[in-house]
Amino acid sequence: MADKEKTYTLTNDQTGESFQLPLVEGTMGPPCIDIRTLYAKAGVFTLDPSFTATGSCKSKITYIDGEEGILMHRGYDIKDLSENSNYLEVCYLLLNGELPDKKQMEQFEYNITHHTMVHEQVHAFFRGFRRDAHPMSIMCGTVGALSSFYHDSLDIWDARQREISAHRLIAKIPTLAAMTMKYAMGQPFVYPRNDLSYAANFLHMCFSVPAEEYKVSPVMEEAMDNILILHADHEQNASTSTVRIAGSSQANPFACIASGITSLWGPAHGGANQAVLEMLEEIGSKDRIPEFIERAKDKDDPFRLMGFGHRVYKNYDPRAAVLKKNCDEVLEELGVDNEPLLEIARELERIALEDPYFVERKLFPNVDFYSGIILKAMGFPSSMFTVLFAVARTVGWISQWKEMVEESPALKIGRPRQLYTGHTERKYVPIDKR
Ligand code: SDX
């Protein structure tokens, strides 16, 4: 006997009518009420403007337990991956669902490594930007334009073309990111090198100059690889949801990733890592922390404690915990002794986590709170911090896009409804009668 379908019953208290809706359960996390038949059955929509209680899709890629502060990719805990894996292996896992064996890893690494160059014409795109253009504005433009170079891999219904596009995006995004950094500095672009790891190659393209030999520091390589792992994917966050809704119209994968980059740029999202560093610099000293804590609590002040709070985590963001632990090690190994911003960050965290306002609202440090301090110590300008987030998150975006295109039933365009609160019908009034 098949299990009796689990349902929720919705009752209209005005008419007494009841409607049964299926309850669907996943492998972990809260079950969902499937409301796809709600309008047909009851003539009503649901209203959830920022999707605080709405599941937009089924997914097997990432799971977050916000209450417990848990993050898993394909069942592997982020701490386990951060300690034992590397970014390219995590890319394979996110894209394909399983950790690769040795042969699969070698093939994947070869494919990514041999797609890192961009077409020489892309260099011309940069010339149109001012040197002081925000690097994220250049990333939005150049990533979207990439589709014009790859007409051979834009058919989203062809599995091989989806795979090629995914490999091209993962491979080329660090090259474009490094080019934005060099362009801002007025230094020549540095070509990728196939003898370096993904993280080392990125550092080489960012920091080497033609005038002298550049040796990638193993400490920097390890720190970079770990930062990429920690930012790789994060369920249906704002930028991933943007990629999914763009992909639902059957837009090509390069255009979809460009849409993700635009959404990530916002200071409430990926732009927070740059905003955290600017906030710590504005605070300037520990004795000014109480002033900023009060501002963060003042409803009339738009100031928020950047790097604090999260829509899902109501506990310590596990990624922030890893970065906080790494901070000391990386700064010491980079010879950046007692970075004053780290002292301010630590004291700010201590005070905030004791303050009832933050405790009641379960506001903890998120991934952006410590990342900027490490990136600054590594020599990146704060304007590059969100670009680095975009480099890391590209694999998450393209994995979620691929899952959406490949899931069955066939891809449906995302088209939310609304609660209309505007005028009812009224007649046009000629201007001389108004
Ligand atoms: C990322 O979604 C993801 O997974 C994103 C991300 C990923 O990997 O993709 O994890 C990456 O974007 C991390 C978040 C980076 N953003 C910041 O650090 C910016 C500062 N944080 C806030 O803007 C805010 O916490 C959000 C945007 C992160 C979350 O906002 P929510 O869930 O919409 O929460 P909310 O605005 O409804 O806040 C709830 C309450 C409010 O107070 P009350 O109205 O209940 O009195 O908490 C307050 C807020 O005013 N609050 C803060 C605060 N964050 C929330 N007050 C002061 N400082 C803050 N940082």
pLDDT, the chain, mean: 95
Ligand 1 contact via 146 beta carbon (within 6 Å): no
In this structure, the residue with its CA closest to atom 33 of ligand 1 is: 311
In this structure, the residue with its CA closest to atom 42 of ligand 1 is: 361
Ligand 1 contact via 363 beta carbon (within 6 Å): yes
Determine the residue of 310, 360, 370 to mutate for testing ligand 1's pocket, defined as the one with the most ligand atoms within 8 A of the Cβ atom.
310
Atom of ligand 1 nearest to the CA of 240: 9
Ligand 1 contact via 366 beta carbon (within 6 Å): yes
Atom of ligand 1 nearest to the CA of 311: 32
What is the C-alpha separation between 114 and 193, in angstroms, rounded?
9
In the residue annotation, 115 being an active-site residue is answered as no
Please tell me the predicted confidence (pLDDT) of residue 105. Answer: 98
The predicted-structure confidence for 123-178, as pLDDT tens digits, reads as follows: 999 999 999 999 999 999 999 999 999 999 999 999 999 999 999 999 999 999 99
Atom of ligand 1 nearest to the CA of 307: 18
Please tell me the predicted confidence (pLDDT) of residue 338. Answer: 76
Ligand 1 contact via 269 beta carbon (within 6 Å): yes
* Residue owning tokens 């002794």: 337
SS3 string of the chain? CCCCCCEEEEECCCCCCEEEEEEECCCCCCCEECCCCHHHHHCCCCCCCCCCCCCCCCCCCEEEECCCCEEEECCEEHHHHHHHCCHHHHHHHHHHCCCCCHHHHHHHHHHHHCCCCCCCHHHHHHHCCCCCCCHHHHHHHHHHHHHHHCHHHCCCCCHHHHHHHHHHHHHHHHHHHHHHHHHHHCCCCCCCCCCCCHHHHHHHHHHCECCECCCCCHHHHHHHHHHHHHCCCCCCCHHHHHHHHHHCCCCCHHHHHHHHHHHHCCCCCCCHHHHHHHHHHHHCCHHHHHHHHHHHHCCCCCCCCCCECCCCCCCCCHHHHHHHHHHHHHHHHCCCCCCHHHHHHHHHHHHHHHCHHHHHCCCCECCHHHHHHHHHHCCCCHHHHHHHHHHHHHHHHHHHHHHHHHCCCCCCCCCCCCCCCCCCCCCCCCHHHC
Would you give the end-to-end CA distance of the chain in angstroms?
A: 70
Ligand 1 centroid from CA 374, angstroms: 22
The residue from 167, 204, 310, 355 that is catalytic is 310
The residue from 233, 317, 355, 368 that is catalytic is 368
The predicted-structure confidence for 296-355, as pLDDT tens digits, reads as follows: 999 999 999 999 999 999 999 999 999 998 888 888 888 887 789 999 999 999 999 999
Task: Read off the tokens for 374.
Answer: 């490490």
pTM for the predicted model, two decimal places: 0.95
Please tell me the predicted confidence (pLDDT) of residue 326. Answer: 87
For residue 374, how many C-alpha atoms fall within 13 Å in the half-sphere facing its CB? 27
Decide if 201 contacts 114 (C-beta within 8 A). Answer: no
In the residue annotation, 368 being an active-site residue is answered as yes
Ligand 1 contact via 232 beta carbon (within 6 Å): no
Q: What confidence category does residue 62 fall into, taking pLDDT thresholds of 50, 70 and 90?
A: very high
Ligand 1 contact via 237 beta carbon (within 6 Å): yes
The predicted-structure confidence for 3-44, as pLDDT tens digits, reads as follows: 678 999 999 999 999 999 999 999 999 999 999 999 999 999
